[in-house]
Amino acid sequence: MATRQSSDMAKFKETLKAAKEVVILSGAGISAESGIPTFRGAGGFWRKYQASSLATPEAFRHSPSLVWEFYHYRREVAAKAQPNQGHKAIADYESRLGSEKKITVITQNVDGLHARAGTKNLIELHGNLYKTRCTKCKEVLVNNDSPICEALAGRGAPDANVVGSDIPVKSLPHCKKTNCGGLLRPHIVWFGESLDPAVLDKAETAMSTCDVCLVVGTSSVVYPAAMFAPQAAARGAIVAEFNLEPTPATPDFHYYFEGPCGTTLPKALSD
């Protein structure tokens, strides 16, 4: 276990070069550099609502229209955003070295920017804004429609004066199967819900065997992902953190590189 974090980039690159299995664990910080709101901390409001209060099964049961307005807004923001140099550096690294090393990207983000940058071996822990799940038949489908349904066109702007939603539930996205027609929800792991066991198993398997782990733009406070890197460090993997500021887990790690991911990652992952 590290007691003092190194910021020796040349030394870290040597360690990375020797690694056979690499995991890159990313969080909201890398997407914030592409203009995606983090919805965590003091600024985490949409309209007058704490964003986390809308990302729950209870909120969806109480007001599916309001929750869909929030997610429609998030889909539209993410669709306009572009992968930044951090996303691109990760995808390029995988493209160059993926045949020599096992490289896995595990993300807590739901915006799809890693995939759009070109990352292939990607585990999305918390789901994806562009997938829906039927509340009745449970079918999960990719949906890139903008708007996702006609009733949501022009809705979802973060106006603090707008309270609630007057969209009838029947006008929200519904399953198109003729024998179903159930209400669709975003395919997102909400607060109070468990991660998909198969997804979690894949992530834990990658974390349990990696030689090197890069922690990128994550506050290391959302469980279970918050435990991944500290556990890897505890069993002897080399962990490097790339963040704007230290986090509660920083003392557990071997390397700490401060600054925007779009600046630090291209240096760390280049030849």
| Active site (catalytic) residues | 126
Q: Is 210 annotated as a binding residue?
A: no
245 is in an annotated binding site: yes
C-alpha 61 chain-centroid distance: 24
> What one-letter code names the amino acid at 178?
T
Q: What is the C-alpha to C-alpha distance for residues 137 and 51, in angstroms, rounded to an integer? A: 27
Q: Round to whole Å and give the CA distance between 148 and 153.
A: 8
Angle CA(50)–CA(52)–CA(53) in degrees, nearest 5? Answer: 70
The residue ranges of DSSP E strands in 87-172, in sequence order, are 102-107, 122-124, 127-134, 140-142
Place of tokens 């066991």: 197
43 is an annotated ligand-binding site residue: yes
Ligand-binding annotation for 233, yes or no, is no
Is 4 known to sit in a ligand binding site?
no
Is 213 annotated for ligand binding? no
117 annotated ligand-binding residue: no
Amino acid at 137: C
State both tokens at 205.
Answer: 């398997």
27 is in an annotated binding site: yes
Annotated binding residues for substrate? 71, 74
Annotated binding residues for Zn(2+)? 134, 137, 175, 180
Annotated binding residues for NAD(+)? 27-46, 108-111, 217-219, 243-245, 261
Annotated binding residues? 27-46, 71, 74, 108-111, 134, 137, 175, 180, 217-219, 243-245, 261
